[in-house]
Structure 1
Amino acid sequence: MRRAASLLLVLASGLAIAACGQQADPPASDARPTSSDDPRFSPLAAYDMSDDESRTVGEARWTLAKECMARLGFDSLKNLDTDPVPAWPQRPANTGVLALISYSLDDFRYGIQDPGQAARYGYRAVEAECKRRYPEKRKWTLSEYLALTGEFAVDDSKTVHGHRIPKRGCLGEADRTIYGTSPLDRKDPVLDLETKSLEQGMRDPAWKKADQAWSACMRKAGYRYATPEDAATDPDRDRQERKERRADPHYDPNEPSALEKKTATADARCKQQTGYVRTVHAIDVRIQNQLLAKNRKKLEEQRRWNHDAARKAHDILEDRS
């Protein structure tokens, strides 16, 4: 399954961190790349859940969650359309929790790469792509959201309609039925090793040389950044945009500024001109293969765990057909 998100976490301080497509049904067109020349190719992805398996699990998860929600008194959700599988619920706005949303897609593993996307969306192209692939077609009430996810802020009630909400909500209960335990309660070796591969890769001399070539290209365009990550997270640009927001009552904080778009476009063009993505992807693939060889046992265990869950999900759907 092409990874689309990190997990949503609600903190006691009233801060929510979310990401697009959490455990959502992957688009049918989002097939796993098989060529190492494709910058989306990941050797470790072979040990992840396949797209077909993910769709089966997603449908079974929501089928069980609907039954759980009806048991909690949400009779109107008995006929909830689960084809396609709904996006992971987002907490309603203005409910006492500040939501900070982090968007992540494997397609952007090495940052913004398409100058056209950058010119339109700035560094928010991944957000735009997430919303295109995983449109949130339903707005949930707070009680529905809490019952589905069990993601409580400090003042949230842990009961609804006189019933106690299960641990991690109805979706968490469904996951425990499918997987035997919640995926949130166990370490995912695929995600862990993909993260380690990036961390090790960025320390590789060839990766640093690619950063230097990209940085030299950016200097010619009028920017001084050591790495693409520095450009994407520039605090000086953020401060300037906050000033513009205060000075202009019509400023839309959800729309990237002209400066962000211009910077992101230069970033993507320099990646293309220096062959940045091709270089760092080759390093990433090499390191992933090394990590794979050292961790094959636990990766095989993860693959079996995923396959078992997919078979269980298939049986659940068969029983209800």
Structure 2
Amino acid sequence: MRRAAALLLVLTSALALAACDRQAGPASPGDRGRLPLAEYDMPEDDVRVVGTARWTLAKECMVRLGFDRLRDLDIDPLPGWPRRPAGTGVVSLVVYASDDFRYGVQDPEQAARYGYQAARVDYERHYREKKWTLPEYLALTGEFVGDDPKSVHGHLVPKRGCLGEADRAIHGTVPQDRKDPVLDLGAESLEQGKRDRAWKKADRAWSACMRRAGHRYATPTDAASDPDRDREELEENLTDPEYDLNQPSAAEKKTATADARCKRRTGYVRTVHAVDVRIQNKLIASNRAKLEDQRRWNRDAARRARDILADRS
């Protein structure tokens, strides 16, 4: 299971770019246990080693590009995926995803506190947010928009930035450019699962419970991403200078709490998890070769990361 990861959507009037923070890795098993595909994912200890080596190399690259002040950059805890600084003509939307919330919110107390944003809170708990200047951001990520300069301090920014250069040293390529069968099959399992008769029955039972609580949603996904609720909240708070999109509203908390309670009352997670496990086992059986290749790829990356850190100790 993967800990919360940030999916950074950078939007402009002309184009959309996407970056995925692949530092995130397996989280501790939930009350339903690990999913079968987790056996082919990178173990959490290796994720930490790879992340440390990645940022160690990125720091060296940044100093080479002329950012001397980053020579002593603290990477414990690891920084999160860099965000483009505000006021640079680009709107950034960050979406957080985690296997701990694969079936949505489950803990009523957590939902009452964080609404549908517990994945963000989990991510921020493990990865430190840091403010970057635009030149630093561009040098780290190589994510150029419009007329962004492709060089800094007279040095050409490496492809995918210093983090991309570090990834190539550890993985042989940038992970975002390589198909990850664990991710792909995990998404396919969800798609198939939601079409399964037992899963649909669980959705109906959950939906009926939500109606009794005053909320009309067909599925938990609908409740978590309700555009009408989001629009109403934005319109109500647009003139509030202290309004923070990252803070859940009272309406969101109320909905999320009812959502989690209905999952418990109807046995929702137990049912859909069983369907998920069954489908994943079938997908593994028909994709074992590529999954074993991914596991070897992960192990090789972790070995190279340990060698990189050993050389600098």
TM bucket, shorter chain: over 0.9
> What is the rounded CA distance, in whole Å, between the counterparts of 2:224 and 2:230 in structure 1?
10
Q: Does 1:235 align with 2:227?
A: yes
- Residue 224 (structure 1) aligned to one of 216, 224, 234: 216
Correspondence for 2:176 = 184
| Native 8 Å contact 1:25 1:85 kept in 2 | no
CA 119–204 in structure 1, closer or farther in 2 if over 3 Å, else same: same
Q: Does 1:317 align with 2:309?
A: yes
* Structure 1, unpaired ranges of 5+: none
Q: Which amino acid aligns with 1:23?
A: R
- Residue 139 (structure 1) aligned to one of 127, 131, 140: 131
Q: CA deviation at 1:193?
A: 0.3
> What is the rounded CA distance, in whole Å, between the counterparts of 2:156 and 2:240 in structure 1?
47
The share of aligned pairs that are identical, in percent, is 69
- Residue 256 (structure 2) aligned to one of 251, 255, 264: 264
Deviations 1:103-156 (A, max 9, x none): 1111110011111121122222222222223231x2111111110111111121
Q: Which amino acid aligns with 1:2?
A: R
> What is the rounded CA distance, in whole Å, between the counterparts of 2:6 and 2:75 in structure 1?
22
> What is the rounded CA distance, in whole Å, between the counterparts of 1:224 and 1:25 in structure 2?
34
CA 11–164 in structure 1, closer or farther in 2 if over 3 Å, else same: farther
> What is the rounded CA distance, in whole Å, between the counterparts of 1:247 and 1:94 in structure 2?
19
Q: Which amino acid aligns with 2:162?
A: C
Q: CA deviation at 1:248?
A: 5.8
Correspondence for 2:31 = 38
Correspondence for 2:53 = 60
> What is the rounded CA distance, in whole Å, between the counterparts of 2:267 and 2:139 in structure 1?
48
CA 172–223 in structure 1, closer or farther in 2 if over 3 Å, else same: same
CA 214–261 in structure 1, closer or farther in 2 if over 3 Å, else same: same
Deviations 1:259-313 (A, max 9, x none): 2211111111100100101110111011111101110000000000111111111
Q: CA deviation at 1:79?
A: 1.9
Q: Does 1:49 align with 2:58?
A: no
Q: TM-score, normalised by structure 1?
A: 0.90
Q: CA deviation at 1:227?
A: 0.7
- Residue 97 (structure 1) aligned to one of 76, 83, 90: 90
> What is the rounded CA distance, in whole Å, between the counterparts of 1:185 and 1:84 in structure 2?
26
Q: TM-score, normalised by structure 2?
A: 0.92
Q: CA deviation at 1:205?
A: 0.1
Correspondence for 2:5 = 5
Correspondence for 2:79 = 86
Correspondence for 1:164 = 156
Secondary structure class of the residue paired with 1:83: coil
> What is the rounded CA distance, in whole Å, between the counterparts of 2:139 and 2:239 in structure 1?
41
> What is the rounded CA distance, in whole Å, between the counterparts of 1:11 and 1:242 in structure 2?
18
- Residue 304 (structure 1) aligned to one of 296, 303, 311: 296
> What is the rounded CA distance, in whole Å, between the counterparts of 2:3 and 2:241 in structure 1?
38
Secondary structure class of the residue paired with 2:144: coil
Q: CA deviation at 1:92?
A: 1.2
Q: CA deviation at 1:247?
A: 6.9
Q: CA deviation at 1:17?
A: 5.1
| Native 8 Å contact 1:113 1:269 kept in 2 | yes
Q: Which amino acid aligns with 1:312?
A: R
